[in-house]
Amino acid sequence: MKKETFVKLFEEAEKLASEPVSGETLLAIFSKYVNFSDTEIYALIKNNALIVQERGPGILQYKFQIDIKKFREIAPLILEEGYGSRKERFDLLLNYPKGIGMGPFDGFMDLYSEISRLIVNSKVELRVVNPYFDEEGNNRILPALKAAAADGVKVRMISRPDIPPELKGLILRTSGINLRHFYGERGETTFSAHAKFLIADDARVYLGSANFTKRSLESNVETGVIFSGPRVPYMINLFEGMWKKSAPFE
């Protein structure tokens, strides 16, 4: 990308840095000079170049303060690399029983650690689909979700209606976590959520076999992937479709 392009981009950022600016305004102005989308907004938030001042129904309605020093440092890296929807990343995750003579296995990252990292590093929104919980799994995942919600991250979670009552109550009492269930009847058959995935900031997705249970996070063989790139919007669309058909717990 030409140096002149960044000079113009930085000039615009300097003008906008005097007061909070909406994501819609950032998109309209920066798109004149570079390939800029809501994905780049998420990247700038993650790298502290945009500081959330006011939240809205969508990222374009948020208002931000531009940290011009951080913006100058990180914007060229993000825009040169083609961040987010134009840059694919694909990591393999694995959990397997230790102490029985299996492994180690090359090419995999630790499943529980990477799910936790995805939650902790989120800045704006988490969408979670997880059908099964138990007390141990809940104790390992819920603190990270609770901390994210306390930091202002929007957390929406879809599960099944048969969550153990004590765990359901604990999640529902956690401020900032919106829990719903996906279940229904169609003729003589029923349908429910069995998928397991998590979307962080519209930018990265965990998709795998593990539930938030002790066996899944410790002793089972469970696999998954974390990916970014052009397929992320497909997962967002799936979640939103499920969310519309889900119902709040009574």
What is the pLDDT at residue 155? 94
Rounded to the nearest 10 degrees, the angle between the axes of helix 3-16 and helix 23-30 is 150
Q: What is the pLDDT of residues 36-63, one digit of tens each?
A: 877 788 888 878 899 989 888 778 889 9
d(CA 202, CA 62): 15
Are the CB atoms for 63 and 22 separated by under 8 Å? yes
Are the CB atoms for 77 and 190 separated by under 8 Å? no
Q: What is the pLDDT of residues 140-189, one digit of tens each?
A: 888 899 999 988 899 999 999 888 888 888 888 888 889 999 988 877 78
Q: What is the pLDDT of residues 188-214, one digit of tens each?
A: 788 899 999 999 988 899 999 999 988
d(CA 25, CA 16): 9
- 78 token code pair: 């993000």
What is the pLDDT at residue 85? 45
What is the pLDDT at residue 1? 55
pLDDT at 84 over 70: no
pLDDT-derived band at 87 (thresholds 50, 70, 90) equals: low
Share of the chain above pLDDT 90, in %: 43
By CB neighbour count within 10 A (0-12 exposed, 13-18 middle, 19+ buried), where does 153 fall?
buried
Work out the average pLDDT over 7-22.
92
Work out the average pLDDT over 98-112.
88
Q: Which 3-state string (H, E, C) describes the chain?
A: CCHHHHHHHHHHHHHHCCCCEEHHHHHHHHCCCCCCCHHHHHHHHHCCCEEEEECCCCHHHCEEEECHHHHHHHHHHHHHHCCHHHCCEEEEEEECCCCCCCCCCCCEEEHHHHHHHHHHCCCCEEEEECCCECHHHHHHHHHHHHHHHHCCCEEEEEECCCCCHHHHHHHHCCCCEEEEECEEEECCEEEECCCCEEEECCCEEEEECCCECHHHHHHCCEEEEEEECCCHHHHHHHHHHHHHHCEECC
**β-strand pairing of 108-110 with 89-95:** parallel
What is the pLDDT at residue 80? 65
Work out the average pLDDT over 98-114.
88
Work out the average pLDDT over 15-21.
93
